[in-house]
Chain A
Amino acid sequence: MRVRRLATWTALPLAVTLGLVACGSGGDGGSGESNPDAAVRIEIAEPQHLVPTNTNETSGSQVLAALFSPLVDYDEANKPYEVAAESVTSEDNRTWTVKLKDGYTFHNGEQVTADNYVDAWNYGAYAPNGQNSSYFFEKIAGYEDMQGENPKAETLTGLKKVDDLTFTVTLSQPYSEFKTMLGYTAFYPMPKAAFSAPGVLAEAYEQAPIGQGPFKMKGTWQHDAKVEVEKYDAFPGEKPKVAGVEFRIYQQPTAAYADVLSDNLDVIKTIPTENLSTAGTDLGDRFKQSPASSLQVLAFPTFQKEFSNPDVRKAISMAIDRDEITKSIFKDSQQPARSFVSPVVAGYRDNTIGEAGEFDPAKAKSLYRAAGGPARIELSYNGDGGHKDWIDATCNQLKANLGVDCVGTAEPKFADLLTKVKAKQPVGLFRMGWVMDYPSMENYLGPLYSSNGSSNYYGYDNPEFDKLLAEGASAANEDEAVRKYQAAEDVLAEDLPVIPLRYGQNNFGHSTRVTNVEMDLFDRVDLVEIEAVK
């Protein structure tokens, strides 16, 4: 009897849900026309934060890109043009005047004024607020005084309001590409409503951020589930072609991929590696690729004696067949790299490392012998990022082409690898990846190779390189700056503190419900271009 009662209890909801599903299917099939009333569904991971100055990962910045409109955006040639700003000008590259366009309002009705920018940037730069993107403000005068445990100042002396729609930014040193920086998430304004007291962010703000962009929040941030936004009608800029966006949160890209295949999700931003080989047949022309800003390299601890000779580094570079690895291991989902900056920035030149980028086993071997390279090479990587295959392939090539012994050593996480590298433990060569903060050559050079660079883990220190970089920053105009940066890159090509291996690509896909899906340089789906199909 008990069994029978149980059976009825389960049979009942089963029957009901089966009925519901029967109602749900049908009504599909598109006519190909754009449907402005539909919302699209885009995959993201759970954002870490949704405050402009605290957001520095792609999921959070994808959501903020819907809610905010940047001061500048980037054109086809990756040069900045004004969006929310009327003009960004400077006479001496040190004092910059930002004029705002009239007519922008926050989603709560507040007018956007210069104060909103000044308040937001001050909040971001103040060290006790612990904002992830605070370093974006380090070039502005007064930043130093806001650091440490008990900072001397609470505001940047370099920020001055001129009138309601104008403010000036004074940098501590001239920087020719300041305008290029302004496209990043950290430079969005925040409304008065975001602050509960001057300089104190209201606790509820992050759960439903108020911006001045094309979309406004619909409800609050549903952690681990979704963030929904809808069109903001009073937005004065270019209007989006969909009624809203649901950013659906996934922990595993494979789950998102299954949803795109069955039209349960519209856009997957990164197709998981294990599905790349079948994505072409699964999705047809809905499988897309576009250039991304990331650069993968193998880095040398140049402070170690066995790697201190540039010829050793060059020989190792020449012994690696980049084209073969990108083809057979990455199935062309990445592109071979032979320069230190990515093709997505202005000033990029192909093949700047010259001979070191040519695959020439015989020459590599003789050069390696002559320079006295070590008989055993270790390649360290983080085991959680799917790097084993290409590291092993690289090792095999080094073994075969240089006649050395080579082992790949996995550290559990990138953090563990960095801990060892920072402590200068002998890890051998180690893998590094770089994703730009803003499209400028300087962003690929300064943080990574200048003697005081924040991510210079290789102990590279070349005064000539530092000098060229400083000259580039203070150059009269952007073209002049690019020339100096290119000269700096040539210095790197001689020294090879790292060997460039691959440029990243966005490998994304979409459902049959949407068209015009494009990704920008920051791994974000372009929300103004995307259209839903009727």
Chain B
Amino acid sequence: MFRFILRRLLQMVLAFFGTTLIVYALMFAGQGDPIQALAGERPVTAAQRAYLTEKFHLDRTGVGGFFYRYFDYLRNLLQGDLGQSLTGRSIGDILAAAWPVTVKLALIAMAVTILFGVTAGVLAGIRRASIFDNSTLLLTLLVLGIPTIVLAPLAQYLLGVRWQLFPPTAGADPDLYALLLPGIVLGSLSLATALRLTRTSVAENLRADYVRTARSKGLVKRRIVSVHVLRNSLIPVVTFLGVELGNLMSGAIITEGVFNIPGVGFNLFRGIRTEDGPLVVGIVSVLVVVYLVSNLVVDVLYAVLDPRIRYE
């Protein structure tokens, strides 16, 4: 187990540098005129252009310029300095302010997914072809069919503005209640998938040989389902949830925008829109680490759920 984790950690280092290189190259290649992008439609003065060009080495172009800027970035990164955004703010500060609220939102979405998705999935799996099963099937189909860009403003308008059940936006320092609506919206997509996954998995395991054995031994149904079936059915669900957690941590660009939550997705979107290369690369570098770690955790969890899985 220990060797497995160590090996994975070493692989992560490689993966990290590989992805930052790719992201940096993409930003570099896609960059038009970041100084003008920052100014929008206002004219840019020569003084301002010269100042930013020198500060961010924007005059270094071509392959040589790329490697110069990339290694400059890496050197600072290894010293724990993520650099400055084009507006002069420290990217470390931006991320420190953005993470807590994104993590909170992700956890709420995750809780919604697990609480409703997995529970309903188990129930639907046990009562296959019942009214409950069919209606959840229909409902999940509906949710999966509506993109967040429709679902989020709709929920905001109906529940926030029309009926005033929730505050329409959450803001920068929201309480748990304000985050609930965006959390539910964000969680509803993974909820639908988790429900489907759990249902299929439970339904399949219920027909397995070991369940028949357990039943013929005279075990009560509750024990069969909660101890034997659930544990075996959760492996695909945990894989999905692990990847999903990484997704949620990367910030939901649309949901955070609609509910005005200045989290990671919100900043990433701004960075892309204003061609703020340092900001985008900084956020993505941290996101890569989040993904790698959450994948590692999922792999370790397999061994806990299924003792047959051994890591060397």
Task: Point out residues on A near B: beta carbons under 8 Å.
Answer: 1, 3, 6-7, 10, 13-14, 17-18, 20-21, 46, 48-49, 56-57, 127-132, 134-135, 147, 149, 222-226, 248-252, 254-256, 258-259, 261-262, 264, 384, 412-416, 418-419, 432-433, 435, 447, 454-455
Determine whether the beta carbon of A57 is less than 8 Å from that of B42.
yes
Q: Given A134-B47, A262-B161, A254–B41 Cβ distance below 8 Å?
A: no
For the complex, is B32 an interface residue (Cβ under 8 Å from A)? yes
Measured between beta carbons, the chain B residues less than 8 angstroms from A21 are 177
Q: Give complex CA distance A3, B222 in Å.
A: 13
Q: Which of B202-229 touch A at CB < 8 Å?
A: 226
When distances are taken between beta carbons in the complex, the residues of chain A under 8 Å from B24 are none
Residue of A nearest to B45 (CB): A135
Q: Decide yes or no whether B160 CB sits under 8 A from chain A.
A: yes
B175 to A251, Cβ gap below 8 A? Answer: no
In the bound complex, CA of A20 to CA of B80 (Å): 41
Bound-state Cα–Cα, A432 to B43, Å: 11
Decide if B177 touches A17 in the complex (CB within 8 Å): yes
The reply to whether B172 and A413 contact each other, CB–CB distance below 8 Å, is no
How would residues 246 to 284 of chain B score, 1 for a CB under 8 Å from any chain A CB and 0 otherwise?
000000000001111010001101100101000000000
Cβ-neighbour of A415 out of B36, B55, B259 (below 8 A): B36
Residue numbers in B under 8 Å from A223 (CB-CB): 89, 93-94, 97, 262
List chain A residues, Cβ under 8 A from B180: 14, 17
Which residue of B33, B176, B270 contacts A419 across the interface (Cβ within 8 Å)? B33
A-B residue pairs in contact (CB < 8 Å), sample of 7: A17-B176, A56-B42, A223-B93, A256-B169, A258-B161, A259-B260, A415-B34
CB distance from B29 to the nearest CB of A (A): 14
B156 in contact (CB, < 8 A):
yes
**A264 CB contact (under 8 Å) in B169, B257, B266, B270:** B169
Residues of B within 8 A of A418 (CB): 33, 36
Does residue B92 face the partner (Cβ distance < 8 Å to A)?
no
- The stretch that binds A, out of B4-12, B111-119, B138-146, B300-308, is B111-119
Q: B46 an interface residue at 8 Å Cβ cutoff?
A: yes
- In the bound complex, residues from chain A placing their C-beta under 8 Å from that of B37 are 413-415
* Across-interface contacts of B259 in A (CB, < 8 A): 255
Task: From A264, A415, A418, name the one whose CB has the most chain B CB atoms within 10 angstroms.
Answer: A415
Give the interface SS of chain B, mostly helix, strand, loop or mixed.
helix
A331 CA / B211 CA spacing, docked (Å): 67
With a cutoff of 8 Å between Cβ atoms, the chain A residues found around residue B17 in the complex are none
Within 8 A of A (CB), among B39-91: 39-43, 45-48, 50-52, 55, 87-89
Q: Which residues of B have CB within 8 Å of A435?
A: 41-42
Q: Across the two chains, which residue of chain A brings its CB closest to B30?
A: A412
Q: When A and B form their complex, which 8 residue pairs have the shortest distance between CB atoms, in order from nearest?
A: A130-B51, A225-B172, A224-B262, A415-B36, A17-B177, A255-B260, A258-B168, A127-B47
Contact call A447/B43, Cβ cutoff below 8 A:
yes
State whether B175 touches A17 (Cβ < 8 A): yes
Q: Give the complex CA separation of A82 and B36 in angstroms.
A: 35
Q: Please tell me if the beta carbons of A384 and B262 are within 8 angstroms of each other in the complex.
A: no
**A226 & B275 in contact (Cβ 8 Å cutoff):** no
Inter-chain CA distance A249–B270, complex, in Å, is 13
Distance from B290 Cβ to chain A, minimum over Cβ atoms (Å): 20
Q: Which residues of B contact A1 (CB under 8 A)?
A: 226
Give 20 A-B pairs besides A3-B119, A255-B156, A413-B275 with Cβ atoms closer than 8 angstroms: A20-B177, A127-B46, A128-B51, A129-B51, A130-B51, A132-B39, A132-B45, A147-B47, A225-B171, A225-B173, A252-B258, A254-B258, A255-B168, A255-B260, A412-B32, A413-B32, A416-B33, A418-B33, A419-B33, A433-B41
> Which of B161, B168, B260, B275 has the most CB atoms of chain A within a 10 A radius of its CB?
B260
Residues of B within 8 A of A222 (CB): 172
Question: A252 to B256, alpha carbons, bound, how many Å?
Answer: 10
What B residues does A149 contact at CB under 8 A? 50
Complex Cα distance, B93 from A419, in Å, reads 32
Taking CB atoms, residues of chain A closer than 8 Å to B114 are 6
B311 CB–A CB distance under 8 Å: no
Q: In the bound complex, what is the Cα–Cα distance between A419 and B49 (angstroms)?
A: 14
Interface residues on B, range: 35 or more
Q: Is B132 an interface residue (CB 8 A)?
A: no
Measured between alpha carbons, how far is A129 from B88 in the docked complex, in Å? 13
Determine the distance from Cα of A258 to Cα of B155 in the docked complex, in whole angstroms.
Answer: 11
In the bound complex, how far is the Cα of B45 from the Cα of A56, in angstroms?
11
- Complex Cα distance A62/B10, Å? 51
Which A residues lie within 8 Å of B232 (CB)?
A: none
Complex: A433 Cα to B39 Cα, angstroms? 13
- When the two chains form the complex, which single residue of A46, A226, A414 contacts B36, counting CB atoms closer than 8 Å? A414
Pairwise interchain contact B153-A254, C-beta atoms closer than 8 A: yes
Residue of A49, A131, A264 touching B47 (CB-CB under 8 A): A131
Nearest chain-A residue to B164 (Cβ)? A262
Asked if B38 is at the interface (CB within 8 A of a chain A CB), the reply is yes
Taking a contact as CB atoms under 8 Å apart, the answer to whether B168 and A262 are in contact is yes
Closest chain B CB from A225 CB (angstroms): 3
Task: Determine if B32 and A415 form an interchain contact, defined as CB atoms under 8 angstroms apart.
Answer: yes
CB <8 Å contact, A57 and B40 = yes
**Which B residues from 131 to 181 make CB contacts under 8 A with A?**
153, 156-157, 160-161, 164, 167-169, 171-173, 175-177, 180
Q: Are B46 and A147 in contact (CB under 8 A)?
A: yes
User: Judging by beta carbons under 8 Å apart, are A258 and B269 in contact?
Assistant: no
- Pick from B114, B172, B173, B269 the residue with the most CB of A within 10 Å: B172
Q: How far is the CB of A423 from chain B (nearest CB, A)?
A: 11
Contact status of A258 and B262, CB under 8 A, knowing A134-B45, A225-B173: no
Q: Are A455 and B43 in contact (CB under 8 A)?
A: yes
A132 to B36, CA, bound (A): 12
Q: Considering residues A48, A131, A224, which has the most beta carbons from chain B within 10 angstroms of its beta carbon?
A: A224
A252 and B257 in contact, given A134-B47, A384-B273 (Cβ under 8 angstroms): yes
Residue of A14, A49, A259 near B169 (CB, 8 A) is A259
A131 to chain B, nearest CB (A): 7
Q: Which of chain A's residues have a CB closer than 8 A to the CB of B161?
A: 258, 261-262
Nearest Cβ in chain A — how far from B7, in angstroms? 31
> Which listed residue (B32, B167, B171, B175) contacts A416, Cβ 8 A?
B32
Q: How far is the CB of B266 from chain A (nearest CB, A)?
A: 6
With a cutoff of 8 Å between Cβ atoms, the chain A residues found around residue B87 in the complex are 48-49
Q: How far is the CA of A70 from the CA of B173 in the complex (A)?
A: 33
Contact yes or no, B168 A261, CB < 8 A = yes
In the complex where A130-B48, A252-B257 touch, is A18 in contact with B177 (Cβ < 8 A)?
yes
Tell me, rounded to whole Å, the shortest Cβ–Cβ distance linking A104 to chain B: 29
How far, in angstroms, from A18 to B155 measured CA to CA in the complex? Answer: 18
Please indicate which of the listed interface residues B42, B164, B258, B273 has the most CB atoms of chain A within 10 Å of its own CB: B42
Question: In the complex the two chains form, is A252's CB within 8 Å of B260's CB?
Answer: yes
Nearest residue, chain A, Cβ from B257: A252
Instruction: For residue B65, give the distance in angstroms from its CB to the closest CB of chain A.
Output: 18
Residues of B within 8 A of A415 (CB): 32-34, 36-37, 275
